[in-house]
A and B are shown apart, each in its own frame.
Chain A
Amino acid sequence: MRGITKVFGPVVALDQVDLTVESGHIHAIVGENGAGKTTLMRVLYGAHPANEGSIELNGQPVSFRNPEQAIRAGVGMVSQHYAIIPELTCLQNLLLGAEPSLIINQQDAKSRATDLATQMGFQFNWDQQTSELSPGQAQKLEILKLLWRNAKILILDEPTAMLAPEDADLLYAKLHELTQTGATVLVVTHRLPDVMEHCDRVTVLRGGKLITSIPVSQTNPSQLAEQMIGVSVTHHTLTESHPGAPILTAENLTILGDKGQQAVKSASFILHQGELVGIAGVDGNGQRELFHALMGLKPFQGTAVLDGQNLRDLSTQQRIVSGLRLVAEDRHHEAVIESWSIVENTSLGLHRLPNLKKGLGINRDSQLALATAATEQFPTKFDNIRQSFRGLSGGNQQKVVVARALQENPRAILAFQPTRGIDLYVADLVYRELIEATRRGITALVVSFDLDEIMTYCDRILVMNHGILTEVPPELRHDRQAIGRMMVGATP
């Protein structure tokens, strides 16, 4: 790929980027959120045609106007969000868009699919509904989909984001086998350990520009991190935790999921004053249901007590007034009203707090003061504090949402993936502010699917697997492999 430029409206997502990938390599593309990694891959895959630049495949100039053309030329991509339709069976998902014939011979298709899976060392029940697949299996199915379409160049976007560490190692081992048979693999990732351990070559993007492209053997993680961020990363030491009295106590919480299954099974934990506790685990193991139940969005069995008040007796609004705060997972659906202004959104949910109330209405002065404080907590870019929330970039939106949870004397903050969509520098800042807040006498519980993040910042680690919550013993606190095993339900 040469001189690739891609412009979205006023934003230059890619600026004259060159990329050369040798066949048979595992090539990593690294960079922060918004660096243009995914955009570059989508240009290659034909999903976003480039504004400028050219692409050559095996010496032949090509230009893909849509993913269909790319896949016909042997280029396929697995997005971060899998293109698997849950209502279809495994076989139907595999075939969709690349059916062998008008009338599909089930037996024939199944045996060919099984052959393909066996080559990769995968096993599938082809008649199974894909809604039942674990994230790891879903990813395997996605890779098989590309191979079914005879893809020779495989692009994987953050392939290990949803996987437990052991599954991630297994994935890379399989990818390595694939490259032995002539395939080429491009991996978009922000996980530098993966790059160092499994990839042959690495390309660094920053702000839509190419920074460097070198063999992995000639670099190291801290150099790469510096190139990604643009400044050298200083590792601040975290303030030590001195846990105090319990603030939030949960005993034997059992919560039903949307399909009536037990999403959380008899979970117990205590959050103390002055500590940041992290829940590690693969997505969909009950984290969502736990947070929703604590916030009053879902019923639960068992007891949960916040500062001596039984949560069951409090409505969601009363829980907020009592100091419970949620950084919701899905910003657009659960956290903000996009057509409202920044000012309105920062007081959304906090509007019944004594400080903001004025008779039946809202005290406009304190509302504005609150918004100003929230936008100054993290460096947030906006034109006018009264502009509509929609005008903010995703990262800036997230900053406001996290900052809002820190305002007006919270007691316990529940944060679901608080750094989703924001770059490393601000992500670090978010955790630092959360930690500082806990040191001032409150408590916080964080759910993250990024184990490294949890291991770096949290004082204690809980692991959630199939609705069962277990605490990581203090002696294994820094053992990535052991926590990884706990995440899939094995003994540490």
Chain B
Amino acid sequence: MDQILNLLASTSGISVTTLILSTLAYSSPLILCALGGLFSERSGVINIGLEGKMLAAACATAFVGAASQNAVVGLSAGIGIAIVLSLLHWILTQVYQIDHIISGMGINALALGGTSLVSKTFVELGGKDAAIFPREIYYLAAWVAAAGIWYLFRSTRPGLRIFAVGNDPDKSRQMGLKPLRIRLQSLLMTGVLTGLAGALIATNAGRFSDEMTSGRGYIALAALILGGWKPWPTLLAALAFGFFGSLQLILQGRDLGGLAVPGEFWQALPYLITLIALAGMLGKNRAPAGLGQP
């Protein structure tokens, strides 16, 4: 790693500090989003709608933050909308027992259309700077969340129950657990974390633009799968994706010792890495056994 960093620093004049900072900036939303997905999937609810929740949260944070000029209100709106979409997912998949993938896709489509409508309706507001929290708070939150989740699943009652319900809802029911309620609580946490992830994306960019999450919800999902649905490995996977993502931002358009690399390659890099990593890990990690079961 050091060698690569040094090489990069020497060939392109990028400082290691810049690289670390931009890795943090790129990976923190991924970490938050992936950990949000971890809650959902550990409890047995497939969540392909992370992207949509994150996008809606980014939009709400930016527009409400701009309108109110109050960072607390902006962030609350972001988390709030992510929770609402998360609860919608709960109602559709748990109460009405709709296929989890379809519900997730629906939420993504809803968020995409909804946020686009908002940004076209309030064009003027979209040009104003939103009141935001410093992004370092989010970086910290991502790591604290990973530690908290690790502790939750290691030695607490709610953690054990989420784990049990996600593996075998029927047997959990026999043991007196209420999968419906446990999944509701888990999806609430998914809402909070994806909300934070979306707010951070808006914070990083300063304002909202259409489709600004650009598939990072899916990359977070890939990090979750790569991390074997465990908090620390998931964080590491997200960090690795973040590293390649920031590499893209930095290396784009630079001259790498006379090597002409088209900008599109750097843009595609994080997605390419995701694909390769997923293909390599396919089937090696064990998914929660009750994923998608009613």
Q: Which positions in A face B, CB cutoff 8 Å?
A: 66-68, 71, 79, 83-88, 92, 95-99, 101-106
Q: Given A67-B174, A102-B158, A106-B155, list of 19 further CB < 8 A pairs? A: A71-B176, A83-B171, A83-B175, A84-B171, A85-B164, A85-B168, A87-B163, A87-B286, A88-B167, A92-B164, A96-B160, A96-B164, A96-B175, A97-B161, A97-B172, A103-B155, A104-B155, A104-B156, A104-B160
Is B157's CB within 8 Å of the partner chain A?
Answer: yes
- Let me know if B155 and A88 touch, CB within 8 A: no
- Let me know if B174 and A83 touch, CB within 8 A: yes
Jot down 21 A-B pairs with beta carbons below 8 A, ordered by A. Answer: A85-B167, A85-B171, A86-B289, A87-B163, A87-B286, A88-B163, A88-B164, A92-B160, A92-B164, A96-B172, A96-B175, A97-B161, A97-B172, A99-B157, A102-B156, A102-B157, A102-B158, A104-B155, A104-B156, A104-B160, A105-B155
Residue among A79, A87, A96 with the most chain B CB within 10 A?
A96
Interface residues of B in 159-203 (CB under 8 A from A): 160-161, 163-164, 167-168, 171-172, 174-177
State how many angstroms separate the Cβ of A334 from the closest Cβ of chain B. Answer: 20
Contacts of B171 in A (CB 8 A): 83-85
Q: Which positions in B face A, CB cutoff 8 Å?
A: 155-158, 160-161, 163-164, 167-168, 171-172, 174-177, 286, 288-289
State how many angstroms separate the Cβ of A112 from the closest Cβ of chain B. Answer: 15
Other-chain residue from A66, A67, A103 in contact with B157 (beta carbon distance below 8 A): A103
- Let me know if B155 and A99 touch, CB within 8 A: no
How many interface contacts (CB-CB < 8 Å) are there between A and B?
58
Contacts of B163 in A (CB 8 A): 87-88, 92
Report the bound CA distance from A9 to B38 in whole Å. 41
State how many angstroms separate the Cβ of B9 from the closest Cβ of chain A. Answer: 45
* 6 nearest A-B pairs in the assembled complex, by CB-CB distance: A97-B175, A68-B176, A83-B174, A99-B157, A87-B167, A97-B176
State how many angstroms separate the Cβ of A76 from the closest Cβ of chain B. Answer: 11
Contacts of A79 in B (CB 8 A): 174
Contacts of B174 in A (CB 8 A): 67, 79, 83
B288 closest partner in A (C-beta)? A87
Contacts of B172 in A (CB 8 A): 85, 96-97
Contacts of A106 in B (CB 8 A): 155
Report the bound CA distance from A88 to B153 in whole Å. 12
Contacts of A98 in B (CB 8 A): 176
Contacts of B156 in A (CB 8 A): 102-104
Contacts of B176 in A (CB 8 A): 66-68, 71, 97-98
Report the bound CA distance from A224 to B157 in whole Å. 47
Contacts of A67 in B (CB 8 A): 174, 176
B161 closest partner in A (C-beta)? A96
Report the bound CA distance from A106 to B172 in whole Å. 21
Contacts of A105 in B (CB 8 A): 155
- Let me know if B160 and A87 touch, CB within 8 A: no
